[in-house]
Chains A and B, each alone.
With several copies, the nearest count.
Chain A
Amino acid sequence: MLHTINKSPFSADSFDTCLKFAQEGDPILLIEDGVYAAQCSSKVSGQLAQHSATNDFYALSSDLKARGISVLCDQVKVIDYAGFVELAEKHQVNSWL
């Protein structure tokens, strides 16, 4: 199952909640304000690093650029909308609004 998170991990509970319910091996895609979780050296980067042992993290390129986020956590792969569709081909989608 592909999980998408679209809210900032600093002001909403989507990031925490999604990580609680996602199963091992599920890919997690950060979109919209959710991409702030991909930036390194913040107070949530430890949490992301820890979960990267069991889940692959992705972030949407156009959302990163729009927000000027260039220094990412190592564990995050940057993809475009074509990559988003490819993940959605392989997995059902669970959008954590």
Chain B
Amino acid sequence: MKFAILLKEGPYNHEAADTAYHFAKAVMEKGHTLTSVFLYNDGVINVTKLMDPPQDDRHIANRWSELGAKGVRILSCIAASKRRGIEDSLLTDHSEITGLGELTDIAIDVDRLVTFGA
């Protein structure tokens, strides 16, 4: 089956980014296709490469980058990104800024669009 994820909260402040990541991994381990992770609302803060958490904690931006390297599109909504100061120069590897039209295409394309948020 084809899955995609909509993530509506930022890293660390809410658990949503963790749940979305673990779900994403489980989807792929089951042999399904995860086409994309679309970041909306504060979710756009997930892909800043300036994120620098304590050494003994998980690095959430690197997680998305790692999924991106495996072919999952990591997409940050442009309007939501601009409000929160996320721009191309800040993006972690394998992520990109795009529009809500892309989310609509994803919603039409996949079998399951699963939302995580607060």
A interface with B by C-beta (< 8 Å): 6, 31-33, 62, 80-82, 84-86, 88-89, 92-93, 95, 97
Contacts and interface: CB of A to CB of B under 8 A. Distances in A.
A97 B23 contact: no
B19 A97 contact: no
Given A32-B15, A32-B16, A62-B22, A89 B117 contact: no
B19 A85 contact: no
Interface residues of B, number: 21
Interface of B: 1, 3, 8, 15-16, 19, 22-23, 25-27, 29-30, 32, 112-118
B8 A97 contact: yes
A78 to B, nearest CB: 15
A95 B30 contact: no
A30 B26 CA distance: 17
A82 B29 contact: yes
12 contacts: A6-B118, A32-B15, A32-B19, A84-B26, A88-B3, A88-B112, A88-B114, A89-B30, A89-B32, A93-B113, A93-B114, A97-B115
Contacts of A80: 26
Contacts of A62: 22
B2 to A, nearest CB: 11
A95 B115 contact: yes
Contacts of B118: 6, 97
Given A32-B16, A89-B32, A97-B118, 9 more contacts: A62-B22, A82-B29, A84-B26, A85-B23, A88-B3, A93-B112, A93-B113, A95-B115, A97-B117
Contacts of A89: 1, 30, 32, 112
B90 to A, nearest CB: 26
A31 B26 CA distance: 15
A88 B26 CA distance: 11
A82 B30 contact: yes
Given A32-B16, A93-B112, A97-B8, A85 B26 contact: yes
